[in-house]
Chains A and B, each alone.
Chain A
Amino acid sequence: MKNRINKLFQEKKERVLSVYFTAGYPDLEDTVSIIQELVKNGVDLIEIGMPFSDPVADGPVIQRSSLIALQNGMSIRKLFDQLKDIRQVTDIPLILMGYINPVLQYGVEAFCEKCREVGIDGLIIPDLPLSVYEEDFRSVFENNNLHNIFLITPQTSDDRMRTIDGISEGFIYMVSSNATTGAKSSVTDFQRDYFERVNSMELKNPRMIGFGISNSETFRNACQYASGAIIGSAFVKALGGTEPLEQKVSQFINSIVTES
């Protein structure tokens, strides 16, 4: 079966909206409802966070949601259980995002097989570096039709970007600035230079810009330089509100996609 991420980027070349949330937050059993609401509101791609006790690449908002999710009892096992019928509900591309240690403890092979079974299309594991991926993980990922999504940053050299482009499938995650997730930023000259440098390289993979995308303005700006953008912390923050879930999701997504 064709990977849903590839299918998405073949059909949609611009303003692709990807949204991240932490599984198990705000409530343990919210996972499927959040996915359904995101789909209903026209999101193109969903990243489901697997919470970890020590998320070093994340800022305060996702640190907090991870902590609460773990306190709620979330685990990879529990998440797979929640997602077991998800493909009867939606065909949207789904990516699991999390740190390497919980995956190692689950067992890499078992984890990848389970991903295929429930219908996961890709993985983002920030602390799984390129060299370790190639040596120890690539074949089991590929055997299970899982795309590993790599990050690039303003400090990534051209050579390394080409290497990452060569090994990537699906898309490349362009970290907008030197930052942990959720850091506040608007597009600076420095970032514009970086975005334009990457665009001029004519990489084979589409790019999605993430980190610091929080409203319609930052989303629109990011979309000028890439196929689309990824929103994480701002959405997780919105989920922390007291309104009904349905309302929180639709209000937030509308605030992003509506031109101001």
Chain B
Amino acid sequence: MSYQVNEKGYYGEFGGAYIPEMMVPNIEELQHNYLEIINSYDFRQEFVGLLKNYVGRPSPLYFAKRLSEKYQSKIYLKREDLNHTGSHKINNTIGQILVAQKLGKHRIIAETGAGQHGLATATVCALMGLECIVYMGAVDVERQAPNVKKMRMLGAEVIPAISGNQTLKDATNEAMRDWINNPVDTHYIIGSVVGPHPYPDMVARFQSVISEEIRWQLEEQTGRENPTRVIACVGGGSNAAGAFYHFLDQENVELIGVEAAGKGIETHETAATLTLGTPGVLHSSRSILMQTKDGQITEPYSISAGLDYPGIGPMHANLFTSQRARYLWATDAEVLDAALELTRLEGIIPALESAHALAALKKLQLKPEEVSVINLSGRGDKDMETYLNHFGY
């Protein structure tokens, strides 16, 4: 079976475009043009050129020697944290800003949770000289202050979303409302593999550079293209989509996503969507969500602003129900331990989001001959305050 999107925009039973009529012209324009644009020679030249010379790709695939010794297995880190702006998010924003230019859009909007996607969007807007408006939950504006300052220095307007829990879901609602109110010259750069078709597929394609590089880098270093498993954190699921992409049809490669359990999956303060959710429609696609029996979306919680989301991309809902990928969860406490462990063993301070993937190491029975690739999706600069408050340095 195929794990890719079909021509109607579905991954199995998940996906589609449940959009209000006000969004139809923009979404249809994208649906009709995105493949032609991103497969064109001009686009490929520009995209690949910017990823290389501006973002700094390929990002290293690093054999984590001391971490491997500790877990008695072979562990590699895909260093997306070393990208310009500090995370994998820039891969997608470079792609989408080029699409927006081809479609003749002058005004860019985005939602952001941890601020990494907002920062990556503000960056490419500065690069291309386009107006940029970033919606960010008011709570996240507080807890991710360094990124807010960077976005503003880059010339973006950061608008706090004050509805709901004032986190990523609410920022996404506000960005959608902005697009409804500004349908003509605006492109909405969605930051994850969520939203109406074609966003999940488009974003996954831009992020797929991660697994494309893992394959040749691993072969170069070990002589084998396929690891035993790939591990990535999932909120909306874009870094996991990119890390899994070229392994989806390699059924012998185990794919592991790690959700944010917050204070624990037995509490109400959690964001473990696949573990706890049921099928439904949020942000214009059918996927799995955390909701009440009446279909009201429940407010998620995670220490990590980037994973604090009650939905997940339709691609992951399909990988989950088809059991192609396995989804674990990690609590805030496990994540903080994992972040400190990596910092002390390898000298790398990871983002809180990426530390969820690292926390999976304790939950797996790793064998000495096995090769695990962990997608280190972002760096921890933005989380220093949380780390300092917790560890008390």
> Does A pair with B?
yes
Q: Note all chain A residues with C-beta closer than 8 A to B163.
A: 63, 67
Q: How far is the CB of A150 from chain B (nearest CB, A)?
A: 7
Q: Do A104 and B295 have beta carbons less than 8 Å apart? A: yes
- A122-165 toward B: CB 8 Å interface, digit per residue (1/0)? 00001111001000000000000000001111011100100000
Q: Do B181 and A180 have beta carbons less than 8 Å apart? A: yes
Q: Do B181 and A179 have beta carbons less than 8 Å apart? A: yes
Q: Do A100 and B22 have beta carbons less than 8 Å apart? A: no
Q: Do A160 and B294 have beta carbons less than 8 Å apart? A: no
Q: Do B16 and A53 have beta carbons less than 8 Å apart? A: no
Residues A160-209 near B (CB distance < 8 A): 160, 175, 178-180, 183
Q: Do B177 and A59 have beta carbons less than 8 Å apart? A: yes
Q: Do A152 and B21 have beta carbons less than 8 Å apart? A: yes
The stretch that binds A, out of B73-81, B82-90, B278-286, B349-357, is B278-286
Q: Does A103 contact B (CB under 8 A)?
A: yes
Q: Do A100 and B296 have beta carbons less than 8 Å apart? A: no
- For B18, B182, B278, B291, the residue with the greatest tally of chain A CB atoms inside 10 Å of its CB is B18
Bound state CA distance, A81 and B32, in angstroms? 45
Q: Do A101 and B22 have beta carbons less than 8 Å apart? A: no
The stretch that binds B, out of A29-37, A69-77, A83-91, is A69-77
Bound state CA distance, A106 and B292, in angstroms? 11
Q: Does B5 contact A (CB under 8 A)?
A: no
Could you say which of B19, B164, B278, B293 contacts A127, with CB atoms under 8 Å apart? B19
Q: Do A151 and B294 have beta carbons less than 8 Å apart? A: no
Q: Does B176 contact A (CB under 8 A)?
A: yes
Majority-rule SS of A interface residues: loop
Could you say which of B20, B176, B296 contacts A151, with CB atoms under 8 Å apart? B20
Q: Does A54 contact B (CB under 8 A)?
A: yes
Bound state CA distance, A128 and B282, in angstroms? 12
Contacts A101-B282, A126-B20, A151-B20 known; A56 to B173 CB distance under 8 Å?
yes
Q: Does B56 contact A (CB under 8 A)?
A: no
Q: How far is the CB of A167 from chain B (nearest CB, A)?
A: 13
Q: Does A105 contact B (CB under 8 A)?
A: yes
Interface contacts (Cβ under 8 Å), in number, total 104
Q: How far is the CB of B287 from chain A (nearest CB, A)?
A: 11
Q: Does B333 contact A (CB under 8 A)?
A: no
Q: Does B139 contact A (CB under 8 A)?
A: no
Q: Note all chain B residues with C-beta closer than 8 A to A102.
A: 294-296
Q: Note all chain A residues with C-beta closer than 8 A to B384.
A: none
Q: Do A126 and B291 have beta carbons less than 8 Å apart? A: no
Bound state CA distance, A63 and B177, in angstroms? 12
- B11-25 toward A: CB 8 Å interface, digit per residue (1/0)? 000001111111011
Q: Note all chain A residues with C-beta closer than 8 A to B117.
A: none
Residue of B nearest to A179 (CB): B181
Q: Does B366 contact A (CB under 8 A)?
A: no
Q: Does A57 contact B (CB under 8 A)?
A: yes
Q: Do B281 and A155 have beta carbons less than 8 Å apart? A: no
Q: Do A75 and B294 have beta carbons less than 8 Å apart? A: yes
Q: How far is the CB of A205 from chain B (nearest CB, A)?
A: 15
A sample of 10 more A-B contacts (CB under 8 A), given A57-B20, A104-B295, A178-B22, is A54-B283, A67-B163, A101-B282, A104-B280, A104-B281, A128-B18, A129-B17, A129-B24, A178-B182, A183-B181
Complex A-B, nearest 7 residue pairs according to Cβ-Cβ distance, in ascending order = A105-B295, A102-B295, A151-B21, A126-B20, A53-B296, A155-B25, A75-B294
11 A-B contact pairs sorted by A residue (CB < 8 Å): A52-B295, A53-B297, A56-B177, A104-B295, A126-B20, A127-B18, A129-B17, A129-B19, A155-B22, A155-B25, A178-B180
